[in-house]
Chain A
Amino acid sequence: MALKVEAKHESGHGTPHPGLGSQPQPGSRIRSNTVNLILLVALVLSIVLATSLGAVRLPVAAVLHAFLHPFSAGEAGEIIFALRLPRVLAAALVGAALSATGVLFQGLFRNPLADPFVLGTSGGAALGGAIGIFLIPTLSFAGFSATAVLAFVGSVLTMILVWYLARTSGSFAMETLLLAGFAIGTMLNAATVAFELREEASGSGLRVLAAWLHGQLSIPDWKQLGLIAPLTIGAIVVALPLAGRLNTLALGEEYASQLGVHVGRVRVGTVIIGSLLTAAAVSLGGLIGFVGLLVPHFLRILIGPNHVRLLPASALGGATFLILADTLARTAFAPTEIPVGVFTAFLGGPAFLYLLHRRSRESGQ
């Protein structure tokens, strides 16, 4: 017996359905391709701008010249390629990784407040990394230091723990999720501080750890960037088909399962990719909070909640956002640098509280 639903009139061919493809849709929301193009241009501009700004101000023309002729850039080239550009690219990668993770975790938990910092997975990654720094600093697996691998493991384990604490009969109580994340995050940070206080800890490890706890971006060497950049971009690309499934998951786990979605696989995939991205972000910048919450939130207002569009847009937007935030953090009170994590907390904290307030009012109605 086949379904016969009679159409009153034949609908036009190729009527766009944004939930399925990535075609544009009419209405007040801005087309996704337009937004991505604008975000890409903004990213390039912010890289150039951020590279020119700093203790020694370089004219934009000099920056562009150095980008085009990297081996004949002289003293400006030294500043750009040894100090500025690695820091700017680190900011871009951390911003992209944290924002993409925010989108993935928010989709998974069906909660716009989920963010790697809020859920405590950043803390888990930092503790894992700290263990790596102090206990087995010289070990490495397949090019990745023990620190990076342990940061990943720390993030995954935290996620699993928060998951089981917050889960009640197929859904997540918001309070439990946030409180579990808060408690675990605080414990992990405290444990990392305890590591910091160990007297026999080596000097450079201590500095790395202090930077992590404050959310201070490091100036990575190009080899480190060469590892983390493909990892971050690759993880975001691999997450795209998952993002489509997160749209279905918005209907609820049971509903998604009824529609044939393998919920368990989506869950595992999201946690693994989110943890990889968190570990990448933490290894470059430590605990930088609320980026994964702010960026997806504002882009959702612009282009809607479809995760397939939100993921790439948030990665681009997050990269630009953190470049600008870090530039401000290192130039506003020059010569003193504020850790960018402090800066994002000042911006993101109120935004988080506002969202929390709005949600509790909605659920109170």
Chain B
Amino acid sequence: MTSSILEFRDVSFSRGPRLLLDRLTFSIETQEMVALIGPNGVGKTTMLKLASRLLQPTSGSVLLQGKPLPDWSRQHLPRSIALVPQELELPFNFRVEEIVAQGRVPYLPLFGSGTHQDHQAIEHAMEAVDIVKLRHRIYSQLSGGERQRVKIAIGLAQQPKLMLLDEPTQHLDVGRQIELIALLRRLNQQGITIIAAVHDLNLVAENFSSAILLTPEPGWIAGSTAEVMQPELLGRAFCVSQSDLAQYCVSPPSDGLAQVW
């Protein structure tokens, strides 16, 4: 068995008559940090949902740790894989710690409350993303950056091996974006494989080991960041000229602030 943690084999996905993903095939090694890039509506969220079994592929198969997703039990899958969604809105005034505690649901029996281990996992998750002091705050009253960290804490409380994040830097100012990427890198160094859909290409080159580029045809390119982040590939995927793209992406983005508008 290889050290592949997530593998897509010829995965196609259609929504109605429209083919969104076409025979997507790649394998992600343990502890990689993968950026998922591509223009709006190209299927990034769909791909993350396919990887976490929220959607079923039209054809092909997805394997987690060498085992096809349909063979994973309902309780064991979320202990290995955590999906951090783009938006999380709560209808009631739940406190931060009550929300993070939901990450332990895959470990709980139907009756009975959490064990010491559950409580510790929640504490560790909140410490890792530095939200311990927010624990009694009402989630719906938090800022965008704070919410983002709470969502990641839910995922960490699941103690997953693979974390999927859908646009984690969206709605964040530049400072919060840099903090968030630094957090993801830290988690990655602690052993969690990361796949994140990212819009800002400036964040990708420096911080991610590999990238998957989804294009509208539909098509895809997967490989190391250097292989994927090539002007002609990106230009075609995003439908812009290479010179416009070059103006947007000033390299090297050493301080992460090097964007030109």
Contact = CB atoms under 8 A, between A and B. Distances in A.
- Is this pair of chains taken from one and the same complex? yes
Interface of A: 1-8, 11, 13-23, 25-27, 106, 110-112, 241, 244, 247-248, 250-252, 254-262, 300, 304-306
Contacts of B54: 254, 257-258
Interface in B1-59: 5, 30-31, 52, 54
Contacts of A306: 94, 98
B30 to A, nearest CB: 5
Contacts of B114: 17, 20-21
Given A22-B113, A260-B105, 5 more contacts: A7-B127, A18-B97, A25-B97, A250-B90, A250-B91
A14 B114 CA distance: 10
B158 interface: yes
Given A259-B78, A260-B74, A1 B120 contact: no
B67 interface: no
A259 B105 contact: yes
B119 A15 contact: yes
A260 B160 contact: no
Contact of A260 (B75, B99, B119, B161): B75
B118 interface: yes
A311 to B, nearest CB: 13
B30 A14 contact: no
Interface of B: 5, 30-31, 52, 54, 74-75, 77-78, 83, 85, 88-95, 97-106, 108, 110-111, 113-114, 116, 118-120, 122-125, 127-128, 136, 154, 156, 158-161, 187, 190-193
Contact of A15 (B31, B85, B123, B192): B123
Nearest to B49: A254
A244 B110 CA distance: 8
B93 A17 contact: no
Contacts of A7: 123-124, 127
A304 B191 CA distance: 36
Given A3-B159, A27-B136, A241-B111, A262 B120 contact: no
Nearest to A254: B54
B88 A251 contact: yes
Given A5-B127, A11-B120, A19-B97, A250 B113 contact: no
B30 A1 contact: yes
A25 B113 CA distance: 15
A15 B97 CA distance: 11
